Amino acid sequence: MKTIGLDELRSIQLDLLQKTADFCEHNGLRYFLCGGTLIGAIRHKGYIPWDDDIDIAMPRPDYERFIKIFNKPDNYCQVVSLESNPDYACSFAKVYDNRTVLKELHYQGLHYGVYIDVFPADGVKSVMQVHKIKILHRLLNTKKANFSRRTISKKIINTFGKLLLLPFSAHQIATRMDNVARRYPLGSVPRAGVIANPFGPGEIVDKSVFDSEIYKEFEGHQFRVPIGYDTWLRSVYGDYMQLPPVEHRVTHHTFEAWWIEGVNE
């Protein structure tokens, strides 16, 4: 199989993003850039130079409808989620290119193609809601951990953790995260956030941040960002316009990707 390098990886991700955005526009679904992709759009008008993924979010109702209607048999872009696959083990969806294979080196389990992450946006009643999800996320990472890629000390900790988690599947833990995140509909309480897989309490902002979207440039294309993007980014990241120290300008993802044999050769 032909290995996919960084430039080609980004090209595939950008294609997935464009097709997802076009589908949302055509079907009246709301979406917006989030996470490092949102920072990239505002600060760099494209990828953060050392980044290698794309994140978007949708209000929960749009997210659920998107999952139900996006997949078509003849489309190489497919969405996978907790709702569509009983073995899936993330609390958010992925849109992936089924002509490719991507292997997460630090995690066991099913591997999909090159993907972009799609998160639901929900109402948030309290900080405790986020703390519960973060605890569940740590358990999920332990459950999915690949021992061969860990240090000796982490192997010992993970072994003990995996024994405790034997009665539960990764899908069940991710589903629990999803259930906690979706407890309050977006707009039903004063605060909101993208908390299905949160960085921390900074994700919680006034619901007005997500009232509507405007367009910003990302890699030469126009994509939606939340109207309150500056408030949100400052809450999560602080002074996000300031570049981090040089030693921190590295990717946090570890994976390898290939074209499926016979594709793009």
Cα distance between residue 120 and residue 178, in whole Å:
9
pLDDT band at 183 (very low <50, low <70, confident <90, very high): very high
Cα distance between residue 12 and residue 257, in whole Å:
11
Give the predicted TM-score (pTM) of the model.
Answer: 0.92
Question: DSSP 3-state assignment of 97?
Answer: strand
Task: Name the residue among 177, 104, 108, 102 with its Cα closest to residue 139.
Answer: 177
Task: Provide the b/e sequence for 29-41 (b: ≥16 CB within 10 Å).
Answer: bbbbbbbbbbbbb
**What pLDDT, in 10s, does the model give residues 197-250?**
988 899 999 999 999 999 999 999 999 999 999 999 999 999 999 999 998 898
**What pLDDT, in 10s, does the model give residues 85-118?**
999 999 999 999 999 999 987 776 667 899 999 9
How many helices (H) and strands (E) are present in the chain, helices listed first? 7, 11
DSSP-assigned letter for residue 24:
H
Cα distance between residue 158 and residue 91, in whole Å:
21
**What pLDDT, in 10s, does the model give residues 8-63?**
999 999 999 999 999 999 999 999 999 999 999 999 999 999 999 999 999 999 99
- Say yes or no to pLDDT of 151 above 70: no
CB atoms within 10 A of CB 156: 11
Question: Which tokens in the block code for residue 94?
Answer: 């992925």
Q: What pairs with residue 145 in β-bridges? A: 107
pLDDT band at 168 (very low <50, low <70, confident <90, very high): confident
- Say yes or no to pLDDT of 160 above 70: no
Q: Return the sign of the alpha-carbon dihedral for residues 92, 97, 102, 108.
A: positive
Question: Which tokens in the block code for residue 120?
Answer: 């639901």
